A = this chain, B = another copy of it.
Amino acid sequence: MNYCSACGAPVTKKVPDGDNLPRFVCEACRAIHYHNPKIVAGCIPEWNGDILLCRRAIEPKSGLWTFPAGFMEIGESIEQAAARETFEEAQAQMERISLFAVLSLPHIGQAYLVFRGPMRSSDFGAGEESLEVQLFSLSAIPWDQIAFPVVRDVLRRYVEDVTRGEFQVHVASLPDCL
């Protein structure tokens, strides 16, 4: 941030009165510009014991695999965001979804909220941001071609829960996990 988005004057980075963190502040119109973490809403779609993964068609990590996930938008709930991303990236509709993981990535200002649940039908396909979409048995997850460590972490927790026979809501921070 170089300029005030309200009035167009240059901003400076300083700790505002009564605050304890540096913010971008406009000396002209006195606006304080806060930057906060973003929510990535994701979903693990399930079908007959398999899970649906997408091979990314966009950077970063184009060509590698992930569950459907993307930035939540203003005007939708987190659940709606997860279902929307699943439809956009994997053309799959969810029968219902349950919260599975809340993972913070503090160093990049992101929080992953990941759901899981059965697909409504076996229909799926590659959305614009996917090269291909495929059902994987848990023993065939392409561990060496996963797009991001946070995706690998979520999938590892998922396989562990399925193996144990019980899903829990995972809450964790992945401080060094890009």
Contacts and interface: CB of A to CB of B under 8 A. Distances in A.
Interface of A: 1-8, 10-11, 18, 21, 24, 33-39, 71-80, 98-99, 102, 104, 106-107, 109, 111, 113, 128, 169, 171, 173, 175
Copies held by the complex? 2
Contacts of A35: 74
Contact of A102 (B75, B78, B104): B78
- By Cβ-Cβ distance, the 3 closest A-B pairs, closest first, are A77-B173, A77-B104, A74-B109
A1 B36 CA distance: 16
Contact of A2 (B8, B36, B175): B8
A36 B109 contact: no
A173 B80 contact: yes
Nearest to A88: B20
Q: Which of A1, A3, A5, A24 has the most CB of B within 10 A?
A: A5
A9 to B, nearest CB: 8
Given A5-B33, A79-B173, 18 more contacts: A3-B4, A3-B5, A3-B8, A5-B5, A8-B8, A8-B10, A21-B73, A36-B71, A36-B72, A39-B39, A72-B111, A74-B109, A77-B175, A78-B111, A78-B173, A79-B104, A80-B173, A102-B113
